Amino acid sequence: MTRKRGNVKKIRWFLFFCWLLFESKRCKRWGDEIVLPMKEMVPKLRKDIEVIPTVHDGQQAFLFRDSLGLIEEPFLLFGDVLHFVGLIDGQRNIRDIQLDLIRMRKGVFISSEEVEQVIAELDSLFLLDSERYRQQRKRIVSSYALLKKREAFHAGRSYPKNQEELRDFLDSFFSGTADHFSDLVGKRISGLVAPHIDLKIGKRIYVKAYRTIQNCPPERVLLLGTGHNLGDSLFSLTEKDFETPLGLVRTDKDWVRELRLAGDKIVASDDLAHRSEHSIEFQLLFLQYLFGTEFLSVPILCGSFQKHLHQASRPQEIPGMNRFLEVLRAWPAEAETSLIIAGVDFSHIGLKFGHRQSASALLMEAKKHDQFLLDALCRGNIKEFWSESRQADDKYNVCGFSCLACLMEILPGCQGNVLDYDFWEEEATQSAVSYAAVIMARKE
């Protein structure tokens, strides 16, 4: 998780229509005709919009953020307007929504024409999974596919855009005394688990992770990042080179093509999820700072395994995964100085992440859950790792679960060492996120 600043629009029910009118007029500059969903079921809300539960003025609210960029600024919905938005589930037509609203408002009449107008305006804002939205998304996907490199999306947002300022920024991370990890003496580091939380928040843990490899420059790096916007796909691959203010990192395109062929239907058909994702971008900053840009990378975003938790006991049992994992397992043997890095966070708890309880009320049990996962990871026991998440039914929203499960499949027999672990608490939303640094190593 990364913390982002910026203006957030706050929208109550009595301002909703005014906001829609203003925004729709602005968005109509696209020049597309708005199609009103009159007889058919109203399209559901887009699945690729990030919806963050939170609290505003003591009441439930939701922050909506569009990584696709069709909606330029994030906005906050709260109050009665949430009831309206909650009815747009793809299972209701205009008449159904009208009747449900009248019931919710205890008989206060609202016409079908008013509902139809609001639905049309929502469509004009690209909030609905409609044909209009899909055409715009297709246009963006096609344009992005033509690019040869993935530019640094978070430069100037999460870290300095200027190269010199960025180096000074990272210098401040590594200015302290280095720790000595006696447990790693005589072992070859094969894998690294590092956070992807806001760089300043996770500073201590990032440093703990990357100090352990600063004297071991890799030839190739396999980067497993949490894909926060993958939808139903299990993985997203890209052949684009990655650029940051510190230079250009080349992608091993041959490996990516082999993985795409092996993964087939479990791999997303496009690479758009990489455009705004921070989980890999943040790892590249540290790698470039320590080693320059001479290494090759294979960037892989991992989607959610949630729907497979109860049908499988490890990733290789998920339909379509076997061949993909076989190719990934060959990675460590291909080069003497290869490294696998998982950019992950652990538990996400509290009101911001859909819990009815505050983070402080869930903190102890979430820590216990994290520690069980870390212990199973360090022992290389993938079935216990998976079973713990299944029993918890992903209650604690461990966003790095799929990355870590794949890491264990790729590095069988590796033993782990937890270097550090911490929680960041956000008082304003009564929420918290945990993160850790772990080294996976083999005896020389």
Q: What is the pLDDT of residues 272-328, one digit of tens each?
A: 999 999 999 999 999 999 999 999 999 999 999 999 999 999 999 999 999 999 999
- Which of 140, 164, 185 represents a domain boundary (last residue)? 140
CA dihedral of 356, 359, 365, 367, whole degrees rounded to 10: 150
- 435 located within any domain: yes
Shared-domain flag, residues 217 and 82: no
Q: Which pLDDT value is given to residue 63?
A: 81
Shared-domain flag, residues 374 and 249: yes
Shared-domain flag, residues 74 and 93: yes
Shared-domain flag, residues 304 and 438: yes
Q: Which pLDDT value is given to residue 312?
A: 95
Secondary structure of residue 300 in the 3-state scheme: strand
The domain total for the chain is 2
Q: Residues of the chain whose pLDDT is less than 70?
A: 1-39, 55, 177-187, 332-336, 443-444
Shared-domain flag, residues 273 and 356: yes
Shared-domain flag, residues 180 and 103: no
Q: How far apart are alpha carbons 402 and 379 in whole angstroms?
A: 17
Shared-domain flag, residues 426 and 283: yes
Burial of 267 per CB tally in 10 Å (0-12, 13-18, 19+)? buried
Shared-domain flag, residues 218 and 366: yes
- Which of 93, 109, 140 represents a domain boundary (last residue)? 140
* Dihedral sign computed on CA atoms, order 168, 176, 434, 312: positive
* Dihedral sign computed on CA atoms, order 212, 217, 222, 224: positive
Q: Which pLDDT value is given to residue 196?
A: 97
Q: Which pLDDT value is given to residue 181?
A: 63
- Which of 107, 140, 173 represents a domain boundary (last residue)? 140
Number of other CB atoms surrounding residue 183 within 10 Å: 12
Q: pTM for this structure? A: 0.85
Shared-domain flag, residues 183 and 331: yes
Shared-domain flag, residues 58 and 135: yes
Q: Which pLDDT value is given to residue 15?
A: 52
Q: Which pLDDT value is given to residue 175?
A: 87
